[in-house]
């Protein structure tokens, strides 16, 4: 019995030393926040991403990510015949899983806070909400440090941030 425990301990030790954290990465993105809310057109947002690979093994990684976006061009809105504009800011925290090396696919799930402002006919209304969010991305590491990524992230039911981004892995 002691031999089995010793072998199990050695195998777990080898697995633990083979799996390591991959380090920090940062990114920037730009794209549209598309919504199916009646009367609202898309807005253009830009964002920043900070992530840390907490576990890597061969071509698989698990990361913690924080992301913030803000509207850089307001979307148009029309409510009861009155025209105006709207914008959205988001802050999110995710757990992400990435599969692949040079080309990869990533899925993530977490919590997102959104702050929405609408201005119509001289009246302004702002609201915020926090809820679950998920997304998926396809990426290509051009070099070991620099990569390109196409991403779609659910902001709220019927609202998605579709974007392209650039990221840098510190090594």
pLDDT digits 0-9 by tens, 1-31: 455 454 444 444 434 434 456 799 999 999 9
pLDDT of residue 20: 57
The CATH architecture to which 20-169 belongs is Beta Barrel (2.40)
What are the start-end ranges of the E strands in the chain?
Answer: 23-35, 43-57, 60-73, 75-79, 82-100, 103-120, 123-141, 146-156, 159-169
In which band, very low, low, confident or very high, does the pLDDT at 102 lie, cut at 50, 70 and 90?
Answer: very high
Q: Where are the alpha helices (DSSP H) in 42-108?
A: none
The C-alpha angle 49, 114, 47, rounded to 5 degrees, equals 25
Q: Give the predicted TM-score (pTM) of the model.
A: 0.85
Distances (CA, A) of 146 to 27, 142, 165: 10, 6, 11
Neighbours of 123 (CB within 10 A): 10
Please state whether 121 falls in left (phi above 0), alpha (psi between -120 and 50) or beta. left
Asked if 122 contacts 92 with a C-beta cutoff of 8 angstroms, the reply is no
pLDDT (mean) for 98-106: 97
Report which of 135, 128, 131 is spatially closest to residue 31, judged by C-alpha positions.
135
């Amino acid at each position: 019995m002691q031999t089995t425990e010793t072998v199990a301990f050695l195998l777990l030790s080898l697995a633990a030393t083979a799996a390591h954290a991959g380090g920090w990465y940062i990114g920037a993105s730009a794209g549209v926040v598309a919504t199916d809310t009646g009367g609202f057109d898309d807005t253009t947002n830009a964002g920043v991403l900070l992530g840390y690979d907490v576990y890597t093994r061969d071509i698989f990684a698990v990361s913690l990510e924080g992301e913030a976006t803000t509207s850089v061009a307001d979307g148009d809105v029309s409510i009861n015949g009155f025209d105006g504009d709207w914008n959205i800011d988001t802050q999110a925290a995710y757990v992400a899983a990435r599969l692949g090396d040079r080309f990869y696919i990533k899925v993530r799930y977490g919590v997102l806070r959104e702050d929405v402002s609408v201005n119509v006919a001289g009246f302004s209304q702002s609201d915020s909400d926090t809820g679950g969010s998920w997304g998926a991305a396809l990426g290509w590491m051009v070099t070991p440090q620099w990569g390109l990524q196409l991403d779609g992230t659910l902001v709220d039911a019927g609202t998605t941030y579709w974007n392209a981004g650039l990221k840098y892995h510190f090594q």
